[in-house]
Amino acid sequence: MSQEQMKIPQATAKRLPLYYRFLKNLHSSGKQRVSSAELSEAVKVDSATIRRDFSYFGALGKKGYGYNVNYLLSFFRKTLDQDELTKVALIGVGNLGTAFLNYNFLKNNNTKIELAFDVDENKVGTKIGDVPIFHMEQIEEKLREENVNVAILTVPAHVAQTITDRLVNADVKGILNFTPARLNVPPTIRVHHIDLAVELQSLVYFLKHYPINVENEEEEGMVNP
């Protein structure tokens, strides 16, 4: 069942991969059960928020026992579609794009960058890791051919919208945007914006003007959401 069908809050949906990663580590270490307090300490989300997140999916644990690690792992694997590989395209093989290709989400078994695009003739036709790099002119052709509907955008800001329009034409449904540009897309396309400069400025601002009060943060469920 998809997260949209279950009508869970977006903030909860964003935390699910974090829980799943920790549960995989617990399973690998042989641990059979875990409490919300242990989860809280590991993922830096307060216990009340974890219990509330889990409550959207029904009775996942028992009071006084905690949560069965194997059951939770199986449940979140299914919820997050971990058994189905999602192919991803990288658009723009600059410094950041190259770093993504070298990393290629090795810890995520269900997500893999399958192909990349750039305009640099010195890069086109080569591979980084095992990912082939094609010319930007081939975006529509290759994405349809490989049935890729998720893209990471790491191009210069001034061409971001033009490239996005081509991604939409290629039937891409999700874009992870690392450019400062705010993209215009049809309502059927989901875009997640990650502006590293803005996030850094925000962090510095909060450090200066909003000293951390751990008790208040935990009461509001705002510790590393």
> For the domain that residue 48 is a member of, what is the CATH number?
1.10.10.10
Same domain, 112 and 173: yes
The number of angstroms, rounded, from the C-alpha of 109 to the middle of its chain's C-alpha atoms is 13
Same domain, 93 and 184: yes
What is the predicted pLDDT for the residue at 73? 86
Distance CA 215, CA 111 (A): 36
Structural contact between residues 142 and 151, judged by C-beta atoms closer than 8 angstroms: no
- Mean residue pLDDT of the chain comes to 85
Residue 35: is its pLDDT beyond 90? Answer: no
Same domain, 125 and 182: yes
Domain count, the chain: 2
Domain that holds residue 21: 3-79
Same domain, 94 and 66: no
Domain boundary among 79, 97, 123: 79
| Per-residue pLDDT tens over the stretch 110-137 | 789 999 999 999 999 999 989 999 999 9
Task: Read off the amino acid at residue 118.
Answer: D
| Per-residue pLDDT tens over the stretch 151-187 | 999 999 999 999 999 999 999 999 999 999 999 999 9
Residue 30: is its pLDDT beyond 90? Answer: no
Same domain, 75 and 103: no
pTM given for the model = 0.71
Same domain, 47 and 131: no
* Residue 220 falls inside a structural domain: no
